[in-house]
Amino acid sequence: MSDTFEPRIVGFFCKWCTYAGADLAGTSRLQYPPNVLPIRVMCSSRVDPVFLITAYLRGADAVLIGGCHPGDCHYIEGNYYTRRRMAMMKTIFESLGLEPERLRLSWISASEGPRFASVITEYTENTRKKGPNPVKSKVFI
């Protein structure tokens, strides 16, 4: 086994858009890094901020939330709430000096297979550059 760092990214993808977009990327045989652990949720607004914190504190190198574009939410307004929550979480992370860049929100629709692949590629590379999540190496967290 090599010692090179492979980021582990936890992805919360909305069933109606991003998860379908991931499906499309797969059926279109697009190549993207295998570093994301996808979790399907019914809506991006299902993602409780506590999920993000849990993933971060248990050593996820990054957390990605994927939802429908604003205005396209299957439940009309879920992703608008997600956007606010994400801004709140990032502000809290920033205030505590906990690397808000490790949290990300992206809008990817069901038809955007290529966009899904490029977001995953870009985010994986960014995270790789950032290095491993510092909490992983600490016993007392």
| Pair type for strands 62-67 and 9-14 | parallel
Residues 50 and 56: their CA atoms lie apart, in Å, by: 10
Measured CA distances, 75 to 21, 31, 70, 72 (Å): 18, 31, 11, 8
Among 37, 39, 42, 57, binds other proteins (CB under 8 A): 57
| Binding flag, residue 54, other proteins (CB under 8 A) | yes
User: Looking at 74, 83, 128, 130, which residue binds other proteins (CB under 8 A)?
Assistant: 83
* Other C-beta atoms lying within 10 Å of the C-beta of residue 71: 10
Handedness of CA 40, 92, 120, 106 (dihedral sign): positive
> Between 15 and 83, whose beta carbon lies closer to other proteins?
83
C-beta closer to other proteins: residue 37 or 57? 57
- Asked whether position 71 contacts other proteins by CB under 8 A, the answer is yes
Query: Which residues form the interface with other proteins (CB under 8 A)?
Result: 49-50, 53-54, 57-59, 69-71, 77, 80-81, 83-92, 94-100, 104-107, 115, 119, 134-136, 138-141
